[in-house]
């Protein structure tokens, strides 16, 4: 961040479970429906010369695939998902969210397993519309037809990815 390398503590099992669940759902959904590419947390997104964050999940729509290079995304993703970490749950809200807004990322999700809340920010004109969900259907504006039930994320044992995918694709 701003030319500094920030080392994070290792991810918790809960973080990894949610990460794999969401990445698998998005990847399988997009394999079926097309329209975008989803990548995991080791692919940097260059937002300025001094900041290339590695969000937990990024979605790049097909019309902007030309920004995907072998080592990084040259510009903002169309959708970013961050999962709050146990060692510093406020980091995503405090450090990343303002910068993601500044980069005008169209859709930002922050999954907070500690508060059992999903913060969703979507760009509407020159401002962001923010909502926080603990339950109910949360639909993506960037990936048409993709949605999750927020309460899926708070279950101690996450639901079957395939069962959830069938439900999403069937709707």
Q: What is the mean pLDDT of the chain?
A: 93
Domain ranges, ordered by start, for the chain: 13-170
pLDDT at position 33 is 97
In 2-160, beta strands by DSSP E: 36-39, 45-46, 57-61, 73-74, 79-83, 107-112, 117-124, 127-133, 137-139, 147-149
- Threshold 0.75, pTM exceeds: yes
pLDDT band for position 1 (cuts 50, 70, 90): low
Tens digit of each residue's pLDDT (9 = 90 or more) over 61-106: 999 999 999 999 999 999 999 999 887 878 888 899 999 999 999 9
Angle at 96 between CA 119 and CA 81, to 5 degrees: 45
β-strands 107-112, 79-83 pairing: parallel
The CATH code for residues 13-170 is 3.90.1570.10
Residue labelled with tokens 């920004």 = 67
């Amino acid at each position: 961040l701003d030319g500094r390398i920030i080392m994070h503590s290792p991810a918790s099992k809960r973080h990894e479970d949610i990460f794999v669940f969401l990445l698998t759902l998005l990847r399988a959904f997009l394999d079926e429906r097309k329209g975008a590419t989803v990548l995991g947390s080791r692919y940097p997104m260059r937002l300025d010369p001094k900041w290339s964050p590695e969000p937990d999940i990024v979605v790049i729509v097909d019309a902007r695939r030309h920004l995907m290079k072998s080592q990084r995304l040259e510009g903002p993703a169309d959708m970013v998902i961050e999962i709050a970490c146990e060692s510093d749950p406020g980091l995503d809200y405090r450090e990343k969210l303002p910068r993601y807004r500044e980069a005008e990322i169209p859709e930002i999700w922050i999954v907070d397993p500690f508060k059992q809340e999903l913060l969703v920010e979507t760009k509407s004109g020159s401002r962001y519309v923010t909502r926080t969900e603990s339950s109910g259907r949360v639909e993506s504006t960037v990936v048409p037809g993709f949605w999750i039930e927020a309460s899926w994320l708070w279950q101690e044992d996450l639901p079957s990815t395939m069962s959830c995918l069938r439900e999403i694709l069937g709707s």
